[in-house]
Every structure is written in C-alpha cells, then in structure tokens.
Amino acid sequence: MAVVTSESHLLLFLLLCILSIGNAVVSATVFTLQNQCSYTVWPGTLSGNGAALGDGGFALAPGGSVQLTAPAGWSGRFWGRTGCSFDGSGVGTCVTGDCPGGLKCTGGGAPPATLVEFTVAAPNAGGMDFYDVSLVDGYNLGMGVRATGGTGDCQYAGCLVDINADCPAELRVADESGRVVACKSACEAFRTPEYCCTGDHGTPQTCGPSRYSQMFKRACPTAYSYAYDDATSTCTCTGSDYLITFCPSQSLIS
C-alpha cells in the first residue's frame, strides 16, 4: 500500500490551487475603463447577473483608468455620468446618466446616455462574447470598445464624434448654463410607437430607421442607432479582454 506523506499532501494541495487559479484566470474577463475626456467621468455599471462590477459606480479623473474583472457568463452594461456632485457618503446626483443609488448605482442610467453592453461567454462553453455601443437611449458622451488578445472578428465598436455639437434642437438636453450636455433619442423625445419600435411598429419589418436614427448612424457607424440596428452594430470576439474608453480618439481603432 502506498504511503501518503504530509509533504505529498502539501504538493498535491499546491498543485490543485495552481490549477484552480489558472482556470479562474482563463474564465475571467478584464475590462479596463479609461477616461480620455478633459473632465471627470463617473462610470456606472449594471450587472444582469451577479454582483455589480466596481460596486456599481465610481469617479474616474481625466487620464485615469481602472480594471474590473467579470466572471465567465457575466452580462451587463457600462455608461458614463457627467456633471456629478456627491457628498462623502456617496449621496448626490448627475446632470447626465444619473442612476438610483447615488455614486454606487443600483439601477440603470437615466437617458439620454451612451451605453456599452456585454454578454460574456459562459464557463467552459468555448463560445463568443457579444458586445455593442448603443445610442438607443440617446447620447451624452463618446464611448468605444476595443478587444485585446481575443480571436475572431473582434471588431471595434464606438462613437468618436461629439453628437452634442450637432444635436437637433428638438433632441437637445442642456444644463443650467444652456450648454448642450446630451442628445435624446427620438423615442425619448417623442414617445411614439414608430420611433420606439413598439405596438404596431414592434418588429424589424415595421420599424425601420428614422431620420434621427440615421443622423446617429452617420455620426457613429459602428454603434446601435435604433432598436433593430443589429446587422452593423453587434460585435463578437472569443477569449478577449476589453478596453472601454470615454471620449475615444481615432487612434484606438487601429
């Protein structure tokens, strides 16, 4: 009969730990959030399953970055809040992208807000991640997503143009000083089925692009411009980490 020594127990334990850590690293996805804006952005996060990444929200100074790790199978969204004011307890509000919960969001951002949406492949499924940048809820600042280290199409998704500068008057959101800080979607502005793709307009066949969604699409060709803009807006990649940039520049695409 083989004799199992304390030393062999220790070696086996260490080997199992190493294998466990290796599997955890392989199955996790790292999101790096980077602020290239000239002002502070308060990222908000919302998870469709599991705990919120980054406790739901935090401040990110110009030039700053932070890494958040999501488990395999995670889904959720990121957005940027602007013009925020919080006290030491995290109580406060934001001019755009505001959410319940104060600094640490417990729900989604109020439109208009640019969104980055993710569904990460499930554990051991060997499948693809799905991601997009969405203007379906309107626009408040530029955002971009670049896959790093993955395989497959791994397209860049993003909005490099400042839509606020050319937002039609009927869609504009201004702060107290009169400066345009966000641009509503047509659905948010007019609340009609043809713009919201609801009711009799609730299918891809009955809800096509409007002149407003076409404006968003011209400005940001790789972003969702309305509810059924899937063909040119949903991106896929396998085994990647992701760089999410606020106020991205053209250099990030290459």
What residue has token string 């609801």? 198
Residue 254: predicted pLDDT: 53
Residue 4: predicted pLDDT: 41
DSSP per position, the chain: -----HHHHHHHHHHHHHHHHHHHHHH-EEEEEEE-SSS-BEEEEEESSSSPGGGGB--B-TT-EEEEEE-TT-EEEEEEEBS-EE-TTS-EE-SBS--TTTTS-SSPPPSS--EEEEEPPPTT----EEEEEE-TT-BSS-EEEEEES-BS----EE--S-GGGG--GGGEEE-TTS-EEEE--HHHHH--HHHHT-GGG-STTT----HHHHHHHHH-TTSB-STT--TTT-EEEBS-EEEEEES--GGGT-
Residue 9: predicted pLDDT: 40
Residue 56: predicted pLDDT: 97
Task: Look at residue 157 and tell me if it is in a domain.
Answer: yes
Residue 23: predicted pLDDT: 40
Task: Look at residue 19 and tell me if it is in a domain.
Answer: no
Residue 104: predicted pLDDT: 98
Task: Look at residue 239 and tell me if it is in a domain.
Answer: yes
Other Cβ atoms within 10 Å of 51 Cβ, number = 12
Query: How many structural domains are present in the chain?
Result: 1
Task: Look at residue 119 and tell me if it is in a domain.
Answer: yes
Per-position pLDDT tens, the chain of length 254: 444 444 444 443 333 343 333 443 446 899 999 999 999 999 999 999 988 999 999 999 999 999 999 999 999 999 999 999 999 999 999 999 999 999 999 999 999 999 999 999 987 656 899 999 999 999 999 999 999 999 999 999 999 999 999 999 999 999 999 999 999 999 999 999 999 999 999 999 999 999 999 999 999 999 999 999 988 899 999 999 999 999 998 765 55
Question: Which pair of tokens denotes residue 75?
Answer: 């889904």
Task: Look at residue 3 and tell me if it is in a domain.
Answer: no
Task: Look at residue 22 and tell me if it is in a domain.
Answer: no
Task: Look at residue 21 and tell me if it is in a domain.
Answer: no
Question: Which pair of tokens denotes residue 41?
Answer: 């952005």
Residue 51: predicted pLDDT: 85
What residue has token string 């690293």? 25
- CA-nearest of 98, 129, 142 to 239 is 129
* Residue ranges making up the domain that contains 128: 28-252
Task: Look at residue 238 and tell me if it is in a domain.
Answer: yes
Whichever domain contains 200, its CATH number is: 2.60.110.10
